[in-house]
Amino acid sequence: MILYQLACANGHQFEAWFRDGATYDAQSAAGVVYCPLCGCSGVTKAPMAPNVATGKTGGKDSAPAEAVAEKITRAMDELRRHVEGNCDYVGEQFAEEARRIHYGEADERNIYGEATDREASELDDEGIDYWRLPPLPRRNS
């Protein structure tokens, strides 16, 4: 995995993870990297300094792992709430409904649901765009 600092044509800066540099290059060339703030697809890499581990702990810029994990969990919760509030749930029919929308057989709309790894691979093969949400994190009670 690689983390890039990105900037959109509207001046927003944000970070995004990619499997590797080639994945970023392919997605960028296809125009499918979007700014999470404004939705602009005019996104480029922004200058960034490498994150070099010094072996030292503590200091004003370090955060405990638990705090970082909590931020990630909150962000995932927000993303899931956004999807659930703004998209139609199609359950296990996700792959089929995504195909119908892609091929113009159903009205274009945002959907979410479940798909097996095989169904996801088939959607990839057909050039149908989709994004997988990570599973809900386990919570200690």
Domain edges within the chain: 2-45, 65-125
What pLDDT shows up at residue 121?
Answer: 92
**Angle in degrees, CA 15, 18, 136, rounded to 5:** 85
What pLDDT shows up at residue 133?
Answer: 80
What pLDDT shows up at residue 53?
Answer: 64
Per-residue pLDDT of the chain (141 residues; tens, 9 = 90+): 888 899 999 889 888 989 888 999 999 888 889 888 888 888 999 876 666 666 655 555 556 777 887 888 888 888 888 999 999 999 999 999 999 999 999 999 999 999 998 999 999 999 999 988 876 655 554
Nearest to 98 by CA among 71, 66, 76, 120: 120
What pLDDT shows up at residue 70?
Answer: 81
Helix segments in 11-136, DSSP class H: 21-29, 65-86, 94-102, 117-125
What pLDDT shows up at residue 37?
Answer: 84
Q: How far apart are CA 21 and CA 2, in angstroms?
A: 7
Q: How far apart are CA 134 and CA 141, in angstroms?
A: 21
What pLDDT shows up at residue 52?
Answer: 65
Amino acid at the residue 5? Q
Nearest to 6 by CA among 32, 80, 72, 71: 32
